[in-house]
Structure 1
Amino acid sequence: MAKVTAERKFVTKIVIVVTMGALAFGYDTGVISGALPFMIRPPSQGGLGLTPLTEGLVTSSLVLAAAVGSLVCGHFTDRYGRRDSLIVLSLVFLVGAVGTAMAPSIPAMVAMRAVLGFAVGGASALVPMFISEMAPAGRRATLVSQNEMMIVTGQLIAYVLNAVLAVVSDSPAIWRVMLLIAGVPALLLGSGLFFVPRSPRWLASKGRHEEARQVLDLIRSSDTQARKEMAQIIENNDEEENRKGWGDVFRERWMRRLLLIGIGLGFAAQFTGVNAFMYFTPIILRQTGMQTEAALTAMIGNGLVAVAATFAGIWMMNRYPRRTMFMGGLGAVVLAHMALGTVLLLFPAASMTKSLLALACILLALLFIQMMVSPLYWLLMSELFPMRVRGALTGLSVAAQWIFNATASFIFPIMLHAMGAATFFGFAAINACSLLFVMKCLPETKGMTLEALERYLEKTLGAGATGGDNLRRVS
C-alpha cells in the first residue's frame, strides 16, 4: 500500500512538472488578446504602432511557427528523448517570453512570437506523449488530460491578468509585463525537469533496459507490474527491430491509416470553432449590441467554462469510451452552432436578449468542446502511434492541427463579415462531417497498455477494419 501511494505521488509530481509546458502554451495563446490593444498605440504612447495587417502577423506568427515546432520536435524527440527535448524547449520558451517583452519593433515582435510558437508547438506534441509513456494504463486518460487542463488554465490566467493589469496600471507599456509573465512557467518547467526521469519506453528503444527498469520501479505500484510492463516493452521493441524508418511507415497500411486518422482528428478538433470563440467572442457579441467592456469581461467567462468543462471531461474519460465521448461532443457542437445561427437570424436588431442568448450558445459550444473533444484529441495523440515513430507521427499530426487552427482562425472573421449568421450553420455542417469521420474511422483505445494497443491497432487497421465492432473495442 505504501508503494502504491508513493508511486501515485511521484507520477503526479512528474505530471505537474511536465504540464508547466502546457501552462506556458495556454498563457502564450491567451495573453495576446490583452496585449494587442496596447500594442496598436503609436510608439510615442508606449505601443508598437500595429496596423490591422501587422496585428494579424503578430497574432498568426505564433500559430504558424507552432506547426513547425511540433513537426521538428516530434522528429528530434525520437532521437534525443522526451525529457531532454522538453528541457531545450523550456529555454526556447524563456527566450521567446523575454524577447516579446523587450521587442523594440514590429519585425522583432513577429520574430519573437515565432520563437514562442515553435516552443508552443513542440510542447503540444511532447507533453501528452511523455505523460502517456510514464502513466499506468488505468490512469493514462486522467493524467494525459491534465495537459488540456493546464492549457485552459493558462488561458484563464492570461485573461484575468490582462484585465487586472490593465485596470491597476497606468503604464502604456504594461503589455510588456503581460508578455514577460510567460517566462515563469518556462522557468518552472526547465528547473523541474532535472528531477524527472526519462521515459522508460524511450530508454528501452535505445537498448538501455536497466535504466528503463529502474524508472518503471519508481513509477509503478508493484515489482510485478513493473516486471510485466518491462517484458511487454522489450517484446514490442524486438518485434520492431527490423521495421524502422519512414519507408516502413508509408509501406504499412495500418500506419498510413493511423496518420490519416491523426490528421483528421486535428481537423475535427479545430473546426469545432474553439479558437474562433476564444479569439473572437468580443467581435461576435459586439455585433449583437453588447458594449466592448462587457464583451471583454465575457472572455473571462469563456476561460471559466473551459476550465470547468475540462474537469468534467477528465471525470468522464475514466467512465466512458473515447469514441462515444468524441461523437457526443461533436453532436452537441453541431446543435450549439445551429442555435447560435438561429439566434442571430431571429433577432436582427441589437438587444440585450440577443446578446445574452448568443453568449449562452457560445458558452454551450465551449462546454462540450472542452469537455468531450479537446481533451480527447490530446489524449488520442498520445496513444495512437507506434513507439518506433511515435514522436514523428505525433509531430506530423499535431503540425496539421496547428495549420487547421490557423486556417479556422483566419477564415472565421472573413466568413462572419461576409455571411453573418450563416457562418455558424456552415460550421455546423463541417462538424456534422467530422462526426461521420469519427464514427467511421476512430478506433477505441480505452483500457489497454500502449504496447497492447499497438498490437491491436496493427491487427485491426492492417486488416482493413473501419467503423465496425472491432474498432469499438473497450477493455
Structure 2
Amino acid sequence: MPAIGHGAYSRRLGWVAVIATFGGLLFGYDTGVLNGALGFMKVDPVLTGSAGAELSAAEVGLITSILLAGAAIGAFVGGRLSDKFGRRRLIVVLAVMFFVAAIGAVASWNYEALLTFRFLLGLAVGGASVTVPVYLGEVAPFEQRGSIVSRNELMIVGGQFLAFLINAIIGNAFEATPHTWRYMMTVAALPAIFLFVGMLRMPESPRWLVLQGRDAEALDVLRQVRSEERALAEMAEVRELAQITREEQSGHLTEVMRTPWMRRLLLIGIGLAAFQQLTGINSMMYYGELVLQDAGFSHQIALIVNVFSGVASVTAMIIALKFVIDRFNRRTVLLFGFAAITIAHVLAGVVGTQMSTTDPARRWLLLGIIVVFVFIMQGTVGPLVWLMVSEIFPLRMRGAMIGVTVFLLWGTNMLIAQVFPMLTQSIGFGTFFAFAAVNAVAVVFVATSVPESHGITLERLEEHFMETLGKKRGRREASVDATTSVV
C-alpha cells in the first residue's frame, strides 16, 4: 500500500474527523449538562407546578434516565438505519434531532414536555454513539484508524468537561434563578448547528458506497481524502472490508443462543457492559454536583469544584489512549481498575458516613476520592470494555452480539440513573458501599470468566472458546454415558 503522504487531501481528512466528532461532543455535553442543571431544575416552578415545591428524587432520576432510554433505542436502531440510508445522511438527521431536542427542552412549558424532548435527545445520543465511530473508521486510512476513531471517545469526555465548565460559569457569573438551567442547555444547540452544516459538505463512507454497489462514487470519495495512487490501491481494501461488513450482518441471535461457546461470549460481553456501568461512573457524570452539595459544598462552589471531575476524565482518557491500551494486557488493566474502584467506593462510603458533617475536611476528602475514582475509571475500565466488546465476538455474529450488548449497556445506565437519586436520598453515602460490593463481584468475574485478547487474533480467540467449551461439553457427555452404563 502506498504511503499516506501529505497534501490537500490530508487537510480534507482532518476536517472530516473534526466535523464528525462533533457528534461525540454533543453526546458528552447532553449527558453531562444535567450535572449542574438539576440543582436548578428541581426547584423550577414551571416543572414542579408551584412555587416553593421541589421535584422528588424519582422525578429527578427520570429526567436523566429517560434520555438513556432513548439512547438505548437509538443505539439499537441507529446501526440499521445507517446501513440502509448511509452514515453521512444519518448523522445529518441526528444533528437536526440534537438541535430540535435541545431547543425544545429549553422551551419546556412543563415537566412532561421536558421528558418528551429529553427522550428525543436520547434517540440522537444513541444514534450518534454507534454511527459516528463507524463513519470515522470507514473514512480513515488503516494506519490512522485507531487514533481517528479514538478522537470520538475523547470528544465525548471533552463534551462532558465542557458541560461542567459552562455550568460553573453560568451558575456563578449570572444571578442564579430556577430558570438558570435553560441557559445551560441552550449551549448544546450551537455544536448541533455546526455538525449539521459541516456534514452537508462531508463525503459519504466509501465502504457504505461499495456495499451499495456504487464503486465509482466510493473511489471519488477516496480521492478526496487520499492521494490518487493511494486511492486506487485502497479500493481493494475497501471492497474487502465491505465483504467483512456483509459477514458481520449475516449472523442472527438464534444461532448464537444455540451455540454454547457463542452464548458464553455473549454473556461475557453483557457482563463487561453491565459492570462498566455499575462502577457508578455515570452517577458522578450526571449527579456529581448534587453529591458534592451533599458532601457539604454550597451550590455555587459545587458547580466549580465539579469541573475537577471533568479534567480528571479528559486527562485519564488521553493517558489511556497513549500509554495504556496497547501496552498492557486487557485483563490486568481491568482487574486493577475494578479493584481500585472498589477501594475508592469503600473510602467514599467511610468518609461520607463516619466523619461529622460539620468537619470541613470531610467535603474535601470526598471531592478528592471522587476525582481519583473518575480518573481510574476513565483510564482503565471505561475504554477497555468498549475495546474488548469489539474484539471477543466472532466476525459473522459481531453485529448482532454488539447490538444486544450495547442495548443492555444503555439499559443498565438508565437503571442506575433512575435509582441513584433515590438511594442517596434514603441511605446517603452508604450508596457507595453498595457500589463497592458490586465492583468486588466484577473483580471475580474478570478473574474467572474474561479472556485475554491483547495481542491475540480474533480467529485464535474463536478457536480457544470452541476448543475449551467443546472439551467441557465432551466431559459432561462422557460422565452422563458412564452413569447410564452403571445404572
TM-score normalised by structure 2 residue count: 0.81
The answer to whether 1:3 aligns with 2:4 is yes
Q: In the TM superposition, what are the counterparts of 1:198-347 in structure 2 within 5 Å?
A: 198-209=204-215, 211-212=217-218, 215=221, 222=230, 226=234, 229-230=237-238, 232-233=240-241, 236=244, 243-253=250-260, 255-316=262-323, 317-347=325-355
CA contact (8 A) 1:340 1:358 kept: yes
Q: Following the alignment from structure 2 to structure 1, what is the Cα–Cα distance between the partners of residues 261 and 92? A: 33
The answer for the alignment partner of 1:98 in structure 2 is 103
Q: Secondary structure at the match of 2:131?
A: helix
The answer for the alignment partner of 1:182 in structure 2 is 188
Q: Deviations over 1:131-171 (max 9, x none)?
A: 33444555444333322211121122222222222334348
The answer to whether 1:411 aligns with 2:413 is no
The answer for the alignment partner of 2:406 in structure 1 is 398
CA contact (8 A) 1:128 1:382 kept: no
Q: Following the alignment from structure 1 to structure 2, what is the Cα–Cα distance between the partners of residues 86 and 43? A: 33
Query: What letter corresponds to residue 300 of structure 1 in structure 2?
Result: V
Of 78, 86, 90, the match for 2:91: 86
The answer for the alignment partner of 1:34 in structure 2 is 36
Q: Deviations over 1:31-68 (max 9, x none)?
A: 22333344433249999976225433323221221111
Cα 1:312–1:427 change in 2 (3 A) is: same
* Deviation for aligned residue 1:120: 0.9
The answer to whether 1:72 aligns with 2:77 is yes
Cα 1:431–1:213 change in 2 (3 A) is: farther
Q: Following the alignment from structure 2 to structure 1, what is the Cα–Cα distance between the partners of residues 133 and 393? A: 12
The answer to whether 1:367 aligns with 2:375 is yes
CA contact (8 A) 1:125 1:398 kept: no
* Deviation for aligned residue 1:211: 4.7
Q: Secondary structure at the match of 1:121?
A: helix
Cα 1:111–1:230 change in 2 (3 A) is: closer
* Deviation for aligned residue 1:119: 0.7
Q: Deviations over 1:176-198 (max 9, x none)?
A: 33222212222222222234333
CA contact (8 A) 1:138 1:447 kept: no
Q: Secondary structure at the match of 1:350?
A: coil
Which sits farther off after the overlay, 180-189 or 341-350? 341-350
Of 410, 425, 429, the match for 2:437: 429
CA contact (8 A) 1:21 1:123 kept: yes
The answer to whether 1:459 aligns with 2:460 is no
CA contact (8 A) 1:78 1:390 kept: no
Q: Deviations over 1:60-87 (max 9, x none)?
A: 2212211111112133233333333222
Cα 1:286–1:177 change in 2 (3 A) is: closer
What's the Cα RMSD here?
A: 3.6
The answer for the alignment partner of 1:15 in structure 2 is 17
CA contact (8 A) 1:132 1:144 kept: yes
- Is there any run of 5+ residues in structure 2 with no aligned partner, and where? 471-487
Largest Rg, 1 or 2: 2
Q: Following the alignment from structure 1 to structure 2, what is the Cα–Cα distance between the partners of residues 438 and 206? A: 41
Cα 1:127–1:268 change in 2 (3 A) is: farther
* Deviation for aligned residue 1:270: 0.8
Which sits farther off after the overlay, 105-114 or 31-40? 31-40
* Deviation for aligned residue 1:325: 2.9
Sequence identity percentage: 36
Aligned pairs, how many?
461
Query: What letter corresponds to residue 3 of structure 1 in structure 2?
Result: I
Q: Following the alignment from structure 1 to structure 2, what is the Cα–Cα distance between the partners of residues 13 and 322? A: 32
Q: Deviations over 1:254-274 (max 9, x none)?
A: 554443333222212111110
CA contact (8 A) 2:251 2:400 kept: no
CA contact (8 A) 1:266 1:400 kept: yes
Which sits farther off after the overlay, 141-150 or 113-122? 141-150
* Deviation for aligned residue 1:399: 1.9
Q: Following the alignment from structure 1 to structure 2, what is the Cα–Cα distance between the partners of residues 28 and 69? A: 15
* Deviation for aligned residue 1:117: 0.9
Query: What letter corresponds to residue 106 of structure 1 in structure 2?
Result: Y
Cα 1:239–1:72 change in 2 (3 A) is: closer
Q: Secondary structure at the match of 1:3?
A: coil
* Deviation for aligned residue 1:99: 1.1
CA contact (8 A) 2:87 2:135 kept: yes
Cα 1:212–1:257 change in 2 (3 A) is: farther
CA contact (8 A) 1:132 1:383 kept: no
Query: What letter corresponds to residue 311 of structure 2 in structure 1?
Result: L
The answer for the alignment partner of 2:484 in structure 1 is none
CA contact (8 A) 1:288 1:351 kept: no
Cα 1:424–1:238 change in 2 (3 A) is: closer
Q: Following the alignment from structure 2 to structure 1, what is the Cα–Cα distance between the partners of residues 176 and 332? A: 50
Q: In the TM superposition, what are the counterparts of 1:127-146 in structure 2 within 5 Å?
A: 127-146=132-151
Query: What letter corresponds to residue 267 of structure 1 in structure 2?
Result: A
The answer for the alignment partner of 2:478 in structure 1 is none
Cα 1:259–1:192 change in 2 (3 A) is: farther
CA contact (8 A) 2:270 2:408 kept: yes
The answer for the alignment partner of 2:116 in structure 1 is 111
CA contact (8 A) 1:128 1:378 kept: no
Query: What letter corresponds to residue 273 of structure 1 in structure 2?
Result: G
CA contact (8 A) 1:288 1:354 kept: yes
